[in-house]
Structure 1
Amino acid sequence: DVEREKLTDRKLKNYRKFIENIYRDKALQDYVSQLDYGLLEIAFYFAIKWDLERKLGKAKGKRGRKDNSLDGGSASETETLIKPITLDQYYGGAGLLFNRWDIAQFYVALKTKGFVILSGISGTGKTKLAQYFAKLIEGRDEQTHIFLSVRPDWTDPKHLIGYYNPITDEYVNKDFINFLKRAYEEYKREGRNAKPYIIILDEMNLAHVEYYFSDFLSILESGRDSKCLTEESIKIHSIDKLENEGVPMELNLPPNLYIVGTVNIDETTYTFSPKVLDRAFTIEIHNVDLDKYGELGKEHREKEGGGDDLAEKLRSSIIEDLKGGNNEFIRRTFTCVSKEDILKAIEKLREKEDSYFKFLNILNMALKPFDLHFGYRVVDEITLFYINAMESWRKEIVGFESEDEIFDLAIKMKILPKFHGNRRRLEKPLLILLELLKRRDKQDEKVEDYRDLGRRGVEELYKTVFGAEYGLDLISVVTEKIEDIEKSLARGEGHSEYRFKHTALKCLRMLRSLYETGYTSFY
């Protein structure tokens, strides 16, 4: 305590940054996770002081300046030793509680596709997840996101893009078009150095998405030209006078434009058609942990330890990551990737031992008899999600448990949202999927080995999956398995039975809903 009292405020601020970096280090979490943060400061100060001064001494030799970072000098000497915070820590410091994998899949899905749908029960923070990300990207710059609350009376695109009123001779509701125009003009002017622009559609299924968003859905899949603009454009109006006033007749969508929609599923909302689900990554925010709620921000408060500086470093890392460039698999400009590069990435996945591509082939073959199989676009997007996740993971922007978890989250987002219907239609495919998601020791298995999986009866499949006789308290058996996987997720451990536990957990919840009500869906 006497030694601590001798430290000036400057010393405390400088060395606290380094302490926080140690506290975040994955390699040290087993040692420090049980320690009080204040005690950790005192204990680690004496343990690291010599090593810190030694490292700064090397830096001093390169810069030719005095090393005084621990003695009231500038904090710049320590900055090279401080890693930017992760997105998980950014949200935690803001008092928002999300699972690590929810944040990771949200970011990578947005980076990959540019169109993400956040679903889940009301009050879990879906809107905040999108808003705080948009604010982080903006930093202190001008606003680069627009927030739109969808209304039940949105029955055509004019409620979104506006319209010409011949009585007043003016264009009504220009905010959204002006936002698109800014994003387009900045990309045309700056290219890859343009800023990301984010559209947030809150409660987007209060109206039929296919009605007011149909033009965007078609244009997003029209392809990209050599400049990475969409091949087709949004038709806005056909009046020369309005164009002279700054309202364009049409606009191509640039690759630096990102769309996030939040949805709740209840009696006042509409479900999504396959057309919408096929063009987006759908993420379910499901878990609510009241034990952790209220304990947020202790480790990563933005007001302490240079939080603003760390958030700014995270912002710079994310913007650079979103812009893309060349990595070991693909060349990317924001969300723009050529088909040639996608095929190269798929070929790389095919070459991997215990190939994920082979698993997709098995999965597709098993689901085909039930008309639940998927197309080439889904394979492309799962591949791109995997490649982009590996890149962001290496940059320490987000974290994943393993490569299996990346692939697991991708198939959950891109394949399961299409599952909706009654017990007669979905019980067998869900049981087949649960069997395929298990860990396997056979490395030489072939796709043909699973061709006849759909010919098995429900009773036989159920016994294979759960090791219990069919009809003996179905709900309790499924619930026990759900709780087992939830415990492994809470501990941050792999599951002994399921290789792809996120998808397996969702399948089990859907299966339980089938047994309880006779109907289920992803939402």
Structure 2
Amino acid sequence: MKLMNNFVSALLAKPFVILTGSSGTGKTRLALQFAEALEEGDIEKDKNWVNVVVNKSGRIISSDEEEVRDLCEQSNNFTAKFGENNFTVNITMNIQVSSENRDFYDAIGDSDKNNIQLAVAENKDSKRYIHVPVGSDWTDSRNLLGYVNPFGAKGKRVFEISPALKLILKALHPNNRSVPFFLVLDEMNLSHVERYFSTFLSIMEANRSVKSNDDLGIIEKENVPLIAETIANEENETYEWTIIRESAEILAQQGKGIVLPSNVFIIGTVNVDETTYMFSPKVLDRAHVIELQTESPSTFFKKENKRIKIENNSNIMQLFDESIQYRDREGSSEDHPLDLLQASMLNREIYDEMTQTLENLLDGVYKILKTTNFDFGYRIIKEVIEYMAMCNKVDVNQDWHVSLDYAMLQKILPKIHGNKRQIGVCLDTLEDFLMGNAINHSLLGVEILIEKTEIKLEKSLEKIKKMKRNLDLTGYTSFIN
């Protein structure tokens, strides 16, 4: 499965994805470039492009001077489109296009005549993603959600508005409820996630269990009028601030708290070293964990490491809209996740084969992991099914065996950790079962009888082998290491 298809399917199935892997594997880049590409593709049709010709240094040598002048009157931040690539640029004295991104100059090369298109980079919809580096001293949610400051400007009581809160308010605006917004938490485990992110973790699950989430706020309704007042007193007339102010005012008038909207998708990046903390099962249960692999140096030298492009943007945006609607009605709907899976498939026979294999596989893995207290509950089963349904929507030609492999890799294996005495035999048995073999022996004093599934999960098996190697080398292993 392509990395991008897996990443998108995971986000659609669960709006919380954790990217892990060695330093330098591009975790943050993937998150930011995906959010940026999705946003750019969605608004590109609304841009007014101006055609110009520039030389190898970026100097404009042919253009409609009046159009360029009009652009420069609107802004000094522009998007330059050259071939299939977009670059952020500035224009000096209406004649010189410049960029801090050296890729821009590499793209136009040594030619003295390069046809490019220019458009104002800012758009009326404002940014739909933010990048938040997690601090090592975060102990509560105030860095994400803001807080009441009794000693604000002029000694007035104000609410300190955080970037994440601005994003959430934009997402809550009535005009934006079907549009995805992305909160990228970088180096997420520099502090204890269970402390600063606890409100989000609780609300994520509670939202899926009730008919209305109006009372499940991440910020109490008593604080909303102060938030609205603080925003209203800010001298800022940008479109973005107008949306934030209107959203806060609507909530204050309705007497509601601020909830975690269904159209906010959270992407966390993590590194594992002596400066970070491991995740608890509470966190891993609520996310898809995707491990990024390192790339060979030859990829760099061949300049194959290009920016993310989304070819079927309109289709992906439609899928995000469907995902948002699914979660909005989830608590009040009687729909079963298997109904979602069946609706995503065209062939009933394949669906029956898939569900039978899925049932047998999950039952077997459950029995093995239960012996070491790494068994899983309804939530994991539900989210495995939802992930496989989203894989079918993202790529109708995707082999469901591959989807099942990734579901196992991202939802079940991340919970396993321990020393050789605790999980050594368990990993051996799990490997044996996932290779398609029947299990009929005692495991840690428990008799295990499992029929074979005749399906090999290559990615999951590869990860188990890696975990076993780490176990042999250090006496301890985990999924994230």
The TM-score, its normalising length taken from structure 1, stands at: 0.62
For residue 374 of structure 1, what is the aligned residue in structure 2?
Answer: 376
Q: In structure 1, the residue corresponding to 2:218 is in which secondary structure?
A: strand
For residue 184 of structure 1, what is the aligned residue in structure 2?
Answer: 172
For residue 516 of structure 1, what is the aligned residue in structure 2?
Answer: 473
For residue 208 of structure 1, what is the aligned residue in structure 2?
Answer: 192
Note closer, same or farther for the CA distance 1:339–1:241 as it changes in structure 2 (3 Å cut). same
Q: In structure 1, the residue corresponding to 2:312 is in which secondary structure?
A: helix
Contact 1:217 1:279 in 2 (8 A): yes
Q: CA deviation at 1:357?
A: 1.6
In structure 2, C-alpha distance between the alignment counterparts of 1:292 and 1:377, rounded to whole Å: 39
Q: What code does the residue aligned with 2:273 have?
A: D
Q: In structure 2, the residue corresponding to 1:107 is in which secondary structure?
A: helix
1:290 aligns with 2:291: no
Q: In structure 1, the residue corresponding to 2:17 is in which secondary structure?
A: strand
Contact 1:108 1:389 in 2 (8 A): yes
Aligned match for 1:321, one of 319, 322, 326? 319
Q: What code does the residue aligned with 1:342 have?
A: P
Note closer, same or farther for the CA distance 1:339–1:131 as it changes in structure 2 (3 Å cut). farther
For residue 456 of structure 2, what is the aligned residue in structure 1?
Answer: 499
In structure 2, C-alpha distance between the alignment counterparts of 1:207 and 1:519, rounded to whole Å: 22
For residue 353 of structure 2, what is the aligned residue in structure 1?
Answer: 352
Note closer, same or farther for the CA distance 1:325–1:515 as it changes in structure 2 (3 Å cut). closer
What is the aligned residue count?
A: 359
Aligned match for 2:267, one of 256, 260, 268? 260
Q: CA deviation at 1:383?
A: 0.4
Q: In structure 2, the residue corresponding to 1:117 is in which secondary structure?
A: strand
Note closer, same or farther for the CA distance 1:451–1:250 as it changes in structure 2 (3 Å cut). farther
Q: CA deviation at 1:297?
A: 4.9
Q: In structure 2, the residue corresponding to 1:265 is in which secondary structure?
A: coil
Q: In structure 2, the residue corresponding to 1:164 is in which secondary structure?
A: strand
For residue 30 of structure 1, what is the aligned residue in structure 2?
Answer: none
In structure 1, C-alpha distance between the alignment counterparts of 2:334 and 2:363, rounded to whole Å: 20
1:149 aligns with 2:156: no
Compare relative contact order (CA 8 Å, sep 6+) and give the higher one, 1 or 2: 2
Q: In structure 2, the residue corresponding to 1:291 is in which secondary structure?
A: helix
In structure 2, C-alpha distance between the alignment counterparts of 1:390 and 1:118, rounded to whole Å: 22
Identity %: 32
Aligned match for 1:251, one of 258, 265, 290? 258
For residue 411 of structure 1, what is the aligned residue in structure 2?
Answer: 408
Specify which structure has the higher proportion of helix. 1
Contact 1:202 1:262 in 2 (8 A): yes
Q: CA deviation at 1:127?
A: 0.2
Specify which structure has the higher proportion of strand. 2
In structure 1, C-alpha distance between the alignment counterparts of 2:303 and 2:403, rounded to whole Å: 26
Q: In structure 2, the residue corresponding to 1:122 is in which secondary structure?
A: coil
> Could you report, residue by residue, the CA deviation over 1:192-242 in whole angstroms, capped at 9, with x for unpaired residues?
xx2110000000111111111100000000034888857611125735444
Q: In structure 2, the residue corresponding to 1:152 is in which secondary structure?
A: coil
For residue 49 of structure 2, what is the aligned residue in structure 1?
Answer: none
In structure 1, C-alpha distance between the alignment counterparts of 2:413 and 2:352, rounded to whole Å: 26
Q: In structure 2, the residue corresponding to 1:116 is in which secondary structure?
A: strand
In structure 2, C-alpha distance between the alignment counterparts of 1:500 and 1:172, rounded to whole Å: 49
Q: In structure 2, the residue corresponding to 1:148 is in which secondary structure?
A: strand
Q: What code does the residue aligned with 1:132 have?
A: Q
> Could you report, residue by residue, the CA deviation over 1:223-279 in whole angstroms, capped at 9, with x for unpaired residues?
348888576111257354444445567212221110000000000011001110011
Q: What code does the residue aligned with 2:464 have?
A: C
For residue 384 of structure 1, what is the aligned residue in structure 2?
Answer: 386
In structure 1, C-alpha distance between the alignment counterparts of 2:14 and 2:329, rounded to whole Å: 6
Which 5+ residue runs of structure 2 have no aligned equivalent?
A: 44-122, 232-247, 343-347, 447-453
Aligned match for 1:438, one of 435, 456, 478? 435
Q: In structure 2, the residue corresponding to 1:324 is in which secondary structure?
A: helix
In structure 2, C-alpha distance between the alignment counterparts of 1:301 and 1:109, rounded to whole Å: 21
In structure 1, C-alpha distance between the alignment counterparts of 2:419 and 2:209, rounded to whole Å: 43
